Each structure stands twice: as structure tokens, then as C-alpha cells.
Structure 1
Amino acid sequence: MEIESKPGEFTQESTNIHSRDVCRHDCNDIQGIPWNTSAMNISRRNLRIRRLRTYHAYRSCPIPEENFVDNTLYNDCPFFEFNANHPQAECCYKHFQLRNCVQYTNDNEILYLSRGNSIFSFNPFSRKTRKIKSSAVDIVSYHSWNNYLVCGGLEGELQISDLEGNTIKDIIIADEDSTKITNHCEFFNDGNGVKVMACNNDKKVRIMDPNTLETQLQFEFIACVNKAAISYDYSLIAAALDDEDVYIQDYRTGQMTHKLTGHKDYTFGVAWHPNNGNILATGNQDGVGMIWDIRKGTEVQPLHTLCGFMGSVLNLAFSENGEFMAFSESGDFVSIYDTRSFDERQVIDGFGEISGICFTKEPNSLYFYIGYADDSFNSLLELRKKESDLDF
């Protein structure tokens, strides 16, 4: 082998919105929200004020008295511009804390989780969607590699299927426990062939043979593992846990190498810089993203603190060339940073719970996608990297 959204406040028609439509004022919002009409009898500004005041971001730990100090200097940097909104891509998520449900594939398509435990593919060229897989398993995590798909479920299931939806392997992993959720799963190649990584509530990360789903390596941590990431040189594995600290282990020996201290709640996002094995990004229910440089010692303090606006920071991603890093909050807001300094940010201000984010992989035609999951206006928002101005 090579390998519970909050209801919205209006009803949206399934019509694509493109940048030219907004420029011509054929619609007054990139998501198609009809502000100040009979269908939406409120202004955008007033709803934003209401959301900021009333939105409840879930916390597992007590809110600390002291506030984080944000390192961002510039919040209106136009790195990306709106290109299109696709309401035919009905994005959703299954678990309120697991929001990695929009992913880019090697076939230049976007996979997204939709209703009915189904995974769909969106083709940005044809603008069409097609169902990849439906499952009796409550899918909370998934990842594709070439012609294969791995899915994790609410009861600790792990399935491998082809992209025609046919299940090839199907097991239940994790020790006996009341919550056996497969919080994260993905394919990767560590130089010794394709592997499957599965992160589970039994506090373990398993590295498995995709042909047999037998465990080849196992890493144990102090709490439920919500997500793990392996450094680009396959020397380290970092784990986001039901814990305030983030832990890093040696991929070969399993020995702990670093403890990252600074967050105030449980961590759900973790990603290594694609070209620099010393830089790690984390996202937490405390509403903060942090950037770490592991050269600073075994017990590391954050290099940059990047505050969100309203919700938990549950998902983050680097662009393929490492030029940008983005994180999504549980609702409404996405932040995109220039990674050279992390003090320049573009804020994408939308409305709705966010199911996931992803960059495409072509540096010369870079696109960015956001999944908005809401019963009334779920869609896939498409942004395009702006072309640099020429200096004469």
C-alpha cells in the first residue's frame, strides 16, 4: 500500500459568491449574509458586537486573572484576498473541540467533513463536490494520502479506505476506557515507508503499519492526546494534551526532551515549521496561539504569544514553504501571520463556527480555505495570496 453547530439566523441560498460579485456590489458580504434586510434584520457591526459579548468559548481550566500580552504589532496586513465562497461545500464537524475537518489533498482538492458522517471532496477548478466516503462510524478526524483515507471515530475506531469509499482496514484502538476517541490520525512517511499515526484519549500516540494496522511504535504521555506532530526531519514528536503544558519526545527513543510551559488550558493545535525543526506552533483553549523555539532549553517559554479575539484556538497550519502560519478560533475569526517576525497579522472576520482551515501547496498560486459550519450558512471560503506590488 502506497500510502454541534449553533443554528444561524437566516437562510442562505446555495449560490457561489466570487470576488467580482463583491466588487460589483451584487452582494454585500463575502459569505452572502444579507445584512439589514428582512432576512437578516441586523447590521454586521451590531452582530459583531453581540457575538463578542455573548459568545461562550469552552474552557476546561479556570480562567486566569492575568491576561496574555499579545506580540502582534500590525493586524490589518493584506496577505490574502477574498476569491470565492462555496456554499455547496456544506462543512461541519462532529466534536466541538476537534476542528481539523478541512484538508488539502495531493490531487489538488479540498476534503471536508459534512453531515451524515460523510467526507466530501471539493474541486477548486470545476467548483464541484463529490462524496468520498460515508461511514457508520462517527468521524472526528481523518487524513488522505495518495489514494487512501484514514478516519478516526468517537469510540476509538480507526478505518482505512480507498478514495472510492471502500473500507480496507477497520479496527478499534485504545485501551479500555470510557472515552476512547481517536482525536487525530494521519499518514506520513518517516523515511522507512508510509505509516499511520493515531492520537487517542488513552494518553497514547501509536505509529502503525497501514497494511496491517499493527502498532510499530508507541508514545505515552500524561493526559489524553488531542493531536501530535512529527518534526520534518522525523527526530521529534510534539503532543497537544488535556494539559496546560506541551510535551516533546524523541521519535527514536521515546524519551521526553522538552516541556513547553505558558498556556493556561488544554491544547488542541500543534504544528512544526516545515523548514525549521526548532520552531513549533501551538493553539489552546485559552484563546492563544504560541510560537516556541526549542533551542531555548528543555523547559521552554513561548517566543511569541498570539491572542485570538473570541474563541478557543483549536487548529493551526503552516503554508508549505513556511512563509505563513494561520490559526482558527472555534468561531468567526482566523488569523494569518507572516512567519518572519510573527508581528504582522491578517484577520479574517467571518460569522459561524469554524470546522477547519488549510493552505494549498503551490507557492506560486497559494490559496487558503476556511470551513464555516453553521446550519444556515455553512460554506467553504476561498482566499488567494495577493500578488506583490512591483517596485520600479
Structure 2
Amino acid sequence: MTRRVAITGAGTINPLGPDVPSTWAAMREGRTAIGPLEIRDADRLGIRIGAQVRDYDEAAHFSRSEAALMDRFAQFAVLAARQAVAAAGLAFEGELALRSGVVLGNSGGGLQTVDDSYRAVYAEGRNRVHPFTVPRLMANAGASHVSMALGLKGPAFTLSSACASSNHAMGLAFQMIRSGAATVMLTGGSEAMLCFGGIKAWEGLRVMSPTGCRPFCATRDGMVQGEGAAVFVFEDWDHAAARGADILAEVAGFAMTADAGDIVLPSAEGAERAMRGALADAGLAPGDIGYVNAHGTGTAANDRTEAAAIHAVFGSAADRLLVSSTKAMHGHLIGGTGAVELLACLLALREGIIAPTVGWRERDPDCALDIVPHEARQARIRACLSNAFAFGGLNAVLALKAA
């Protein structure tokens, strides 16, 4: 039997705010969190802007012994997961604990730990590193700490597919519940790449903007990195209804495709197949979709390719479709980006507010879409898509419906 899947909780810590209400408020107001980087050796970087989680104090959330075991990305994952479970009103005990798990998306693992360790060994000449270097840097640390913190004893793992990691993770969590393999799954993603080594590596690709993120704008000059996490409670619909849970939205469909083309250049055909697949999986027609949260990185290759794919899928309906990229506000969270962007989808479905594409200056004829520039817009949305397209030609699209 195919089961319906509900979203019953959400949590986040990201550059726009330390929780869902503050993040939604920033999205409504069109605030951007992109600014000068406050990291060690920022003066040695060519790119000196990013979207940081500022004024973060790990001591306010974790004991010294807990913090010693967790890189920044894992701490973000645990904080977001705690919020999501509290919002869902769940306690994982007995049989439910055995049938509940966590799958998170992450691309870089504990890069802060890696950066510190390289400095210690190569720059400072030390012969020892932190004794917990391996458990701090491993990519599965976020999912493992979430499972331990909340008592989740079912499936628990990490999925890594660059910028599509979160969407792939959420898609697999959706499929696990729909198939009956789990009753509840915590899912989403986390990333914390804003360190000297992380930024320096991305500089080498020459896709980073020194001025700001302007998706679908003719003057765009690249992406801007962010950091943070978002985690959601995906739950068997009947289980959620039986306990009287507040259902935020329904996860209706998911599809993933591979371009099988270039390691960095995207394919409109691959993105198109992923969107069509998500619609088919959800039993939705293009005309049913009112909003697309675009991958929208602010690079010429991504924006034009994604716009072409949207026009191919929606045809004449693309003229009335609302499309926005929230990366201009919170930056590109790499492995965690799809999770934070799903919050914009929930805002659209739950409150009828479309988060804007801020920073836009000038129309690009190759990106002829209603990208909701500058200011949020009110609209009644019954269904939406959330796009994620990654280096390596890996595409993952989620379809959501209003509860």
C-alpha cells in the first residue's frame, strides 16, 4: 500500500535566522544576510563576502564535552532537528523509535575541522591533531548526532551529492515512508563551508561573486556561499492524523535524474526530466503548480539552463508561474541549500507568501520568468516544486501540496 507523507515539523538555523519564524520573517521582508566574511585570513581571499550564521555561540546550546565532538555543521544539524521535533510534538520511544530514523544531506563534512587540522600540521608544524578529528570531520556526523540526541533507532545515514544533497535526502526519506519502511524520518541537510580552505577551493572554480547574488539578472556575476541547516519531520500521514498533528504540507512527489554529461556544466534536458518526473510521481499536471523554488545560483550557466528547462516543462503556463531563488538572501548552502529552500515552499503553501528574488537589477531575455523581484508577493498556492541541480549533473526535484 502506498502511504501519504506529511510534514509535521520544521527547524532551522541559517544566515536569515536561528529558527523558522525568524527565517520566514526575513523572507517576507526580502532581507539579505550576505555581507563581509568574518573568518580567519579573510584578507587572503579573493572573495570576501558570504552569508554567515553570525553571533553563533556553541556554549549556549552544547556542553563542552558535546561541542568537542561536533564540527559546526553537525551542531547546526542537531539544533535544527531539535526544533523540528519540538514543533511536531513527537517523542521517540518504544516501537516508534525503532521505526523512525534520519537521513541528511551534506557535501563537505566537517570542513572547519579539516581546515583547523591542516593549519595545525602544515602551517604550525604540530605533530598531533585534535583526538576527535575523525568523528568531527566525517560527513555522517550530523545524522549520527541527530539520531543519538533524539533516540532515533531506525534507518540513519547521510547522502552526499553536492548541491542536490538535501533534496536527494528528503526524496529518499519520502520514499521510505511512502513504502512503509519507516513511520517518521527526520530529513534535510546541513553545511558549514565558510572557512579559509572552503572558500579558497570554491574560488578556484571562478563561479563566485565578489559583489552579491543576483539570480536570473543580466548583471549577475556568480554565486555566494552560505551556511546553516534545516531539518523536517516527514511522517506517515495516517500516523500524523491519528495523533492530531498540525500538518504543514504534503510531500507528494520526487524525482532524480543524471545529466550524464559534464562534471560542472548543467543540462536543461536533465533538469527538465527531473521536474517532469516529480510532477508525474505526484500525479500533478504542470498547470497545478503555482510556484517553483528555483535552484537559481546566480551563475549564467545555471540560470539560463534552469529557465529553459522550466519553459520546456510548463510551456505557456510558464507565463503565469511564480519562480524565485532565495539564495540571494541566505546564500548557497551547498549540501544544505535544498533544505533551507524548502522553508520558502512551506511559506508559500502555508501562508500564501512567495519569497522574493532580491538583488535583481536588469532583465535577462534568456531568463524570461516572473521571478518575483525585490518584494514578497501574496498568492494562493496549492502545489509547488523545489529544484536542486548539482555539479556532476545530479538533479533532484520535490513536489509539495498544501495540506
TM-score (norm 1): 0.29
TM-score (norm 2): 0.28
